[in-house]
Structure 1
Amino acid sequence: MPIAPLFRPIDVAPAYQKVADAIEREIVNGRIKPGDPIGTEHDLVRQFGVNRSTIREGIRVLEEGGLIRRDSSRRLHACLPRYSKLASRLSRALVLHEVTFRELYEASMTLEVASIEGAVERASEENVAELTDNLARSGAVVGDPARLAECDAEFHVLVAKASQNRVLQLAREPAAQLFYPTTEMIVTGVAEGGPRLVAAHRHLIDAIRRRDREAGVLWTRRHLQDWRRGFEKIASLDRSVEHMYMEHAQAARRR
């Protein structure tokens, strides 16, 4: 009878990943600040005691994550990752964990309500003008699901921007990236989807303009509940994001 193992295998990370992790730790901990020089590849080869190809691969990982950049002299500097890079990494993590659309819906209800509350309180005239311009463009493409989906995604980014809360802007992006393709699916499959979306956006802008928190929260909830009802006409909320998008991509290739 085999004896149950007492220990787990040791996970030995590649050398380039150890280099990337070491530099990332210093940036995240604040010991290396955005804009601070990190040196050249030659400097890092000497400090880490590894070959140049290992350093280059570690740098590639950090550049893709938006944590370092090169200047014109090829020297490396720490930098803040862009929202899009962080959001993409988190979105991939959500997909790998096989999150469902029900989970996305519940989390988004919290984040989008917080965004509209902040926007109602702090939106500037410029923010309202950007939202109004988006509404006009949305109305012009209401019969084009793909372009309307782009306008819808932009609208919610602008609401978060109007909240003047950068944490909210960053927090909502990973789920928003996964929501984005569903808008096109719903508008394509549900005849009233496009007009209802544009109408909800109009009410939200009006609430922001009037500083009406109650109306803003009400229409945000209605807007997301509309999304849920539309989505349930084409799929189950308990489907995983990964499986749903794989099927959608396969269907698109067959068309």
Structure 2
Amino acid sequence: MEFEPVTPVRAYERVVEQIEEAVLSGRVLPGERLSSERDLMVQFGVSRSTVREALRVLQAAQILRSRPGDPRGPEVLAASPAALHKSVRHLTRARHMGLGEVLQFRMLLEGSAYLLAASLRTSAQLDEMAAALEAMRADLGTSEFSRADVAFHDAVARATGNPMIVVCGEVVREVVLELIEDKLVHADDRHALMRSSLAHHTEVLAAVRDGDGALACRLGRQALYDYYADYVPEEGLAKLRPLIGAET
């Protein structure tokens, strides 16, 4: 594929922009390869160091996989939530964002997912949620419970039909768990937490099945609050309480 020459001032940024646009527009697809470094130098009209700097940026963003000197050229990667996860995790630490803020976002996001899923879910997606719930019930008290729990939330997110909700939901869920992982491991009664979670999920699924999005939204937010409230400082809880009982 052909690219346009760029000016030498911060030229690697212009190279990044053109390659990003080619990937996002679908002119080059995941699994395909760009030209070799030498050919990219000619197409862009820049030095090898400029091409390599652009490729390093694109690789860090997980848009490409590149090895200096590879004659096959850089490989275009499929979209992944990994870069978003890294950014959110960095934000929670670099700017001292607390668990309250992250959990607030999760409550907003998952509440909205339940709201949409209640209207948009298919019979097959309801079956997925029910199967995940049954797995949670069967694995109560075991390490497999969390896997089934994740499967339930993933099924709800997919039922919205919005891939952004799927990706953001996965990322924020992982970040919340990372922030309190040690506390959960040493919780006095993890079995009680699992039983409470199972009861909440059962109620939410019933609301989604009945098409009552407002109820599903409220229940989903309440479930998150009840599960995590003991791990959130009081100043963080103040940011969560307005969401309890909210319909949207």
Q: Same fold (TM over 0.5)?
A: yes
Deviation per CA, 1:181-232, whole angstroms, max 9, x where unpaired?
A: 4367437514221111111111122211111113202211220121233424
* Structure 1: distance between partners of 2:223 and 2:181: 12
Any idea what SS the aligned residue of 1:110 has?
helix
* Structure 2: distance between partners of 1:128 and 1:230: 31
Deviation per CA, 1:64-85, whole angstroms, max 9, x where unpaired?
A: 4232357x98244655522233
Question: Given residue 103 of structure 1, which amino acid in structure 2 is its aligned partner?
Answer: E
Distance 1:79 1:212, change over 3 A: same
Alignment match, 2:195: 195
TM-score, normalising length from structure 2? 0.71
Do the aligned partners of 1:135 and 1:202 also contact (CA within 8 Å) in 2? yes
Question: Given residue 102 of structure 1, which amino acid in structure 2 is its aligned partner?
Answer: G
Any idea what SS the aligned residue of 1:39 has?
coil
Do the aligned partners of 1:40 and 1:74 also contact (CA within 8 Å) in 2? yes
Q: Does 1:150 align with 2:147?
A: yes
Q: Does 1:45 align with 2:41?
A: yes
* Structure 1: distance between partners of 2:144 and 2:23: 44
* Structure 1: distance between partners of 2:75 and 2:25: 9
| Cα deviation, residue 25, structure 1 | 2.2
Identity within the alignment, %: 18
Distance 1:198 1:206, change over 3 A: same
Any idea what SS the aligned residue of 1:152 has?
helix
* Structure 1: distance between partners of 2:149 and 2:46: 50
Distance 1:219 1:190, change over 3 A: farther
Moved over 6 A (4+): none
Alignment match, 1:244: none
The range that moved more, 149-158 or 104-113, is: 149-158
| Cα deviation, residue 99, structure 1 | 0.9
Do the aligned partners of 2:88 and 2:175 also contact (CA within 8 Å) in 1? no
* Structure 2: distance between partners of 1:225 and 1:188: 19
TM-score, normalising length from structure 1? 0.70
Do the aligned partners of 1:33 and 1:78 also contact (CA within 8 Å) in 2? no
1:162-241 equivalences in 2 (<5 Å): 162-181=159-178, 182=180, 185-186=183-184, 188-191=186-189, 192-232=192-232, 236=233
Distance 1:216 1:73, change over 3 A: farther
| Cα deviation, residue 88, structure 1 | 2.8
Question: Given residue 22 of structure 1, which amino acid in structure 2 is its aligned partner?
Answer: R
Alignment match, 2:18: 26
Any idea what SS the aligned residue of 1:189 has?
coil
Alignment match, 1:118: 116
Distance 1:79 1:33, change over 3 A: farther
Q: Does 1:59 align with 2:55?
A: yes
Question: Given residue 228 of structure 2, which amino acid in structure 1 is its aligned partner?
Answer: R
* Structure 1: distance between partners of 2:116 and 2:218: 14
Q: What is the root-mean-square deviation of aligned Cα atoms in Å?
A: 3.3
* Structure 1: distance between partners of 2:89 and 2:139: 27
| Cα deviation, residue 26, structure 1 | 2.7
* Structure 1: distance between partners of 2:167 and 2:63: 16
* Structure 1: distance between partners of 2:225 and 2:104: 10
Do the aligned partners of 1:27 and 1:78 also contact (CA within 8 Å) in 2? no
